[in-house]
């Protein structure tokens, strides 16, 4: 009598543990929340705004930013 396993399979066909299945689900959920560009282009503009504000408020400390 043959017993068939119920392990999930990866894209390559390899068996996955319960931990692997849980991590895969978490990664997929994070990828769905991530911006489409992947680089977070809005972040660079925000960093520039913060640097400019620091330069204005504390010119002696942040002049070289």
**Domain co-membership, 2 together with 25:** yes
Q: Would you put residue 38 in left (φ > 0), alpha (ψ -120 to 50) or beta?
A: left
- Distance separating alpha carbons of residues 37 and 43, to the nearest angstrom: 12
Alpha carbons 59 and 65: distance in angstroms, whole number: 10
What's the pLDDT score for residue 44? 86
Is 30 found in the same domain as 3? Answer: yes
The structure's pTM equals: 0.42
27 shares its domain with 1: yes
Its domain, for residue 17, covers 1-34
Looking at residue 63, what DSSP letter applies?
A: T
HEC readout, 18-59: HHHHHHHHHHHHHHHHCCCCCCCHHHHHHHHHHHHHHHHHCH
Task: For residue range 6-64, list pLDDT tens digits in order.
Answer: 667 777 878 889 998 999 999 999 888 877 665 556 788 889 999 999 999 988 888 77
């Amino acid at each position: 009598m043959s017993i068939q396993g119920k392990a999930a399979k990866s894209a390559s066909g390899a068996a996955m543990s319960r931990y692997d299945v849980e991590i895969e689900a978490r990664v997929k959920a994070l990828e769905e929340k991530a911006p489409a560009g992947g680089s977070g282009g809005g972040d660079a503009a925000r960093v520039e705004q913060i640097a400019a504000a620091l330069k204005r408020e504390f010119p002696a400390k942040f002049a070289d930013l």
